[in-house]
A and B are shown apart, each in its own frame.
Chain A
Amino acid sequence: MSTIVDTTTLLDIIGVSLLAAVGVTGAFSLAILGATRFSDLRRDGRAVEAACFGVLTTLALAACAGAIVYGIVEIQTK
């Protein structure tokens, strides 16, 4: 059975899928959290804290975009 089932490949697929799905959703959730807090804090006049959440949003969105682009490039090149 072990010769029929390519365990290494299956484990790779499981690992990559879980990491990508959970990682991208987590990062996007952080981006939404950052955007929501940024808007609230800026309205309250707390510019420094708002800027921190703005940076969080930018980094989280960049992480999402980076993960997607990396994944597609990886599929195309190997």
Chain B
Amino acid sequence: MQSDLILVIVVATALTFDFTNGFHDTANVVATSISTRAMSPRLAVGFAAILNFVGAFISLKVAATVANGIVSATEVTTTVIFAGLVGAIAWNLVTWYFGLPSSSSHALIGGVVGATLVAAGTSAINGEGLVSKVVIPALIAPTLAFVAAGLAILIAYRIVGRQRPGPVNRGFRTGQIASGGLLALAHGTNDAQKTMGVITLALIANGNLSSDPAKFHVPEWVVISAAVAIALGTYTGGWRIIRTMGSRIIKMDPAQGFSAQGAGAAVILASTHFGYPLSTTQVISGGVMGAGAARRLSAVRWGVAGNIAIAWILTLPASAAIGGLVYGVTRIFGTGALGPVVVSVAILAAGIGVFARRLQRGSPITAAEA
């Protein structure tokens, strides 16, 4: 009974994380379309929310990696997963507060790894999986998006460079409806699966599903609820981060926006196909910077890009530390459901406090301002 109650709390926390993931991350997906005026903010966010939902149904390979490839499903408990989720949510709130587009995905993986380390030691961590499926792709993916977007924009300028800018810009703005949609689809595919993976891991840890990787299965209700949560988060929007991504890194023309989104979508979809849980934030940032740098290195505001890079570097260790700490705090209340309940109430109060303080410091950026 106690373990089932913890499972319910874990599922609710995972879906809350998924919602904050949509709120926090998907803004990055629509920022380029808004920045180049390819779409109005509200239309872009609504469009991205729908395609996030659809994208969640495309593949389950990333969910399999998160459930089986990073920590040992037989050694973790639902309390460990809960602590990892809280670590990720706390880190997301901190980076949201400061307007930094850090990676929700790495926060999630960092949180779960940190809590697992404290609870079960290094033997429960699949180091090989962590390095090959998280750390190496984390280094390669943004660089790849940077290069792909840079090459793409050079080719685009070569082809249409001598044409009148009016029709060319109109053409690429129209194209951005497709490239932005594809990026939202890719985001839904990769990011919603991380929540599905965590819920599936909790179901395995609780004994509801088999721990045999050959019998890996994600229940339908998990897929649907993760898709709904990320789409709702996206629709709610994260206007602060939209501004950072869309105009503070570089000023873009529609061709650059198209190239950045196309490169981002290509990298995320290709990685999803092989089950790599990528940071969509990192990939789209790489694409945006590549499209800007290919035209003129000084077009990129490297100071802002540097702040984003610092947030990336800090994400895995910081969320792991919070995840480990939360597990320690939870265990003070024993192995039952009391610890997760107390921590849930505390994190909820902290979240409300952050929102209230944010509102006191200045009104959040709205659709009209973005």
Of B1-9, B102-110, B163-171, B349-357, the one contacting chain A is B163-171
Q: Which residues of B contact A (CB under 8 A)?
A: 58-59, 128, 131-132, 136-137, 140, 144-145, 147-149, 151-153, 155-156, 159-160, 163-164, 167-168, 171-172, 175, 178, 182, 185, 189, 255, 258-259, 262-263, 266-267, 269-274, 276
User: A75 near B175 (CB under 8 angstroms)?
Assistant: no
Size category, A interface: 35 or more
Residues of A with C-beta under 8 A to B258: 25, 28
* Option from B153, B168, B178, B182 in Cβ contact (under 8 Å) with A36: B168
Q: Closest Cβ of chain A: how far from B333's Cβ, in Å?
A: 38
- Decide yes or no whether A35 CB sits under 8 A from chain B: yes
User: B148 near A21 (CB under 8 angstroms)?
Assistant: yes
In the complex, per-residue mask of A4-22: 1 if CB is within 8 Å of any chain B CB, else 0: 1110011011101110111
Bound complex: CA of A6 vs CA of B275, how far in Å?
12
* Option from B148, B159, B171 in Cβ contact (under 8 Å) with A35: B171
Bound complex: CA of A48 vs CA of B255, how far in Å?
29
Known A5-B136, A33-B159, A76-B58: A12·B266 in contact at CB below 8 Å:
no
Q: A25-B152, A29-B160 are in contact. List 10 more A-B contacts (CB 8 A).
A: A4-B128, A10-B137, A13-B140, A18-B266, A25-B153, A26-B152, A26-B156, A26-B159, A29-B159, A32-B172
Bound complex: CA of A14 vs CA of B149, how far in Å?
13
User: B160 near A32 (CB under 8 angstroms)?
Assistant: yes
**Which of A3, A12, A17, A68: most chain B Cβ within 10 A?**
A17
Q: Which of A16-64 contact B (CB under 8 A)?
A: 16-18, 20-22, 24-26, 28-33, 35-37, 39, 64
Residues of B with C-beta under 8 A to A5: 131-132, 136
User: A13 near B271 (CB under 8 angstroms)?
Assistant: yes
* Option from A18, A21, A37, A72 in Cβ contact (under 8 Å) with B58: A72
* Option from B59, B131, B160, B274 in Cβ contact (under 8 Å) with A12: B274
User: B175 near A22 (CB under 8 angstroms)?
Assistant: no
User: A75 near B132 (CB under 8 angstroms)?
Assistant: no
Bound complex: CA of A6 vs CA of B137, how far in Å?
10
User: B132 near A6 (CB under 8 angstroms)?
Assistant: yes
- Decide yes or no whether A66 CB sits under 8 A from chain B: no
User: A24 near B262 (CB under 8 angstroms)?
Assistant: yes
Residues of A with C-beta under 8 A to B149: 21
User: B273 near A28 (CB under 8 angstroms)?
Assistant: no
User: B182 near A68 (CB under 8 angstroms)?
Assistant: yes
User: B58 near A32 (CB under 8 angstroms)?
Assistant: no
